[in-house]
Structure 1
Amino acid sequence: MDFRRLAEPAGLLYGTAAQDAVRRGLALPLAGGPAAFSCVDLIEDRTHSGFLPVGDVPAGWQDVLARLVAKPPAAGMPEGPQVMGILNITPDSFSDGGRHRDAERAVQAGLMQIAGGAGVLDIGGESTRPGAAVVTPEEEWQRIGPVVRGLKQQKPEAVLSIDTRNSSVMAHVLAAGADVINDVSALTHDPDALPLLAGERCGVVLMHMRGTPATMARHTVYEDVACDVVRELGARLTAAIEAGLAPERLSVDPGLGFAKNTDQNLTLLSRLPLLANLGCRVVLGLSRKRMIGDVTGVQDPAGRDAGTQAASLEALPLGQSVLRVHAVEGMVQALRVWQRVHTV
């Protein structure tokens, strides 16, 4: 796919206003979700058209508009907007490190997240925060293996995503019943990951990051952070598809906080509809991150859930968004209220 040409939707409408505007040809539905967009900026390389009414878009751009309109595939997760509960089986994660190191406690915490409304659990055994200790794949699997097996034994229908960069861990967790692989390196860390996953059927989340968790702070220079992230994710999508992964298996995560400073994170968050150009489900993971603390002044990550909920709602105009959070119940409440407000 060629992502030199992008279209940025704007002028969002909801509910009966959106339905009426679409019916009258004044707007187009966005990514199969509750929103419609009434204008669009056509971006070719670094040239912008300026925002145009959707009815004035030249015929040569209709294929790009079609990607914005199409509902993205479920990619191994339940249909519709979902809350993804974070379950870190690590001693050093920035927010909840050490809370779930005991496998039985971790299983019970996961079951509570499901009871609280999580449609997906994201289980990780390696912290990717800057300065985190290196973990071998063997140790990573030892941490998460009993949790994956325990959850599948007690809740066979649970949808489990595994946050890992290592192909050997991917192979183990898929054999144990995991449904999705969530790779912060977009399958660049381990050369065996792409060929392994090409032979599987699981969903795969490709996250945007430059460098590694240890070096990403040195890679924060962008010409246009939103366009650059979309195009770089597009390159990883193309690589995955060319390696044999079916497009309907793939989701994307813009990687807020990874090789991006607070201002860049906020710019990217304000322009999330641009990600619809990729034709994929969007996973948004900004729970309790430094950008929330920078905006709110809250220093303790555990106190940033309200800010997390407010920021995460920005993804909901994209119809199949997955909101990855530590505090599931509050996010579920916020999601349900947002849905009711935006369907009237």
Structure 2
Amino acid sequence: MAAAISVAGRRVECAEDQSILEAFLRAGVWMPNSCNQGTCGTCKVQVLCGEVEHRDSPLETLTEEERAGGLALACQARPLAETEVALPGSEMGRTTHMLRDLTATVVEVEEIARDTRRILLGLEEPLAFSPGQYVELLVPGTSERRPYSLANTAAEDKVLELQVRRVPGGVASDWLFGPVAVGDRVEVRGPLGDFHVPEEDKDEGEPMVLIGGGTGLAPLLGIARTALERHPDRVMVLYHGVRTESDLYDTDRLAELATTYQGFSFVTVLSRESLPGHRSGYAPDAFVEDVASARGWSGWLCGSPALVDAGVKAFKRRRMAPRLIYREKFEPADGRVPLPRYITNPQDGS
């Protein structure tokens, strides 16, 4: 049964099979979102009135105390009656790119590194998004969806570039490193996520450092190219951290950026090999060694939770303002265990 949900005066209908987050995004109403799996807690909202069912919200992300206090995960919860929620901050209910369902065609599958593929998806109509966001693919023959960051700029809106790392036993990996072929039709949902460059009128051309682990390079490519196009003289350094040289890719692409933009440079960092032309160790440590002060810089991190956490510490160590640190953690999608269902009614605390 559908129910109305509102935030900051914006009211939308939420279908029975939709989460609060999906209902708002499909209506073009912004809500903070990142993993959309219930693991990061980015989309927590305060239920002001009405009643929501928490469904599969994990207890480790939304505790019983938080539920009793009227908090909910918008990516998991759905309203059971007309409900109003509130968001932290001052950007409640702003306009965003509308969440859409599209059918794409696989136009290229390319091996680019060890256990890494580039997959290009052609669209019949453009998808509006902000560089750094991601889309979800429906795995054929299942009800499973998996997120993949876009390596595109906003102008590259009809052929989506995904950089995919093999996950042994992964539902999507078995497909994308198995029977997927050029010409296949793929169901795509997006855009999603808040990891993207600010709107152009907020971009002051500050120096930037970007650190990506493995395929965490993908969204950084779209972000870096967009930021450099806006301010060609911007100082920017990108660190790509991988295990071995066989895991590196797109170095020619990065070298071309360095040739085009005088202020851009990149560093490849190998954690399990020591080879000429590459740094050894971990990318956040390389940044600390290279930059004495990052005051006034913005920092961008994408990869495993360990890399992102280490990167945040490295940025703060070099005096980067926390408000200028942007991050995207690649959380594992497989193996989540559904937890008990809870209902929050802020009026009675149940």
Answer yes or no: same fold by TM over 0.5. Answer: no
- TM-score, normalised relative to structure 2: 0.29
Q: Which has the larger radius of gyration?
A: 2
Instruction: Decide which structure has greater strand share.
Output: 2
- Which protein has the bigger helix share? 1
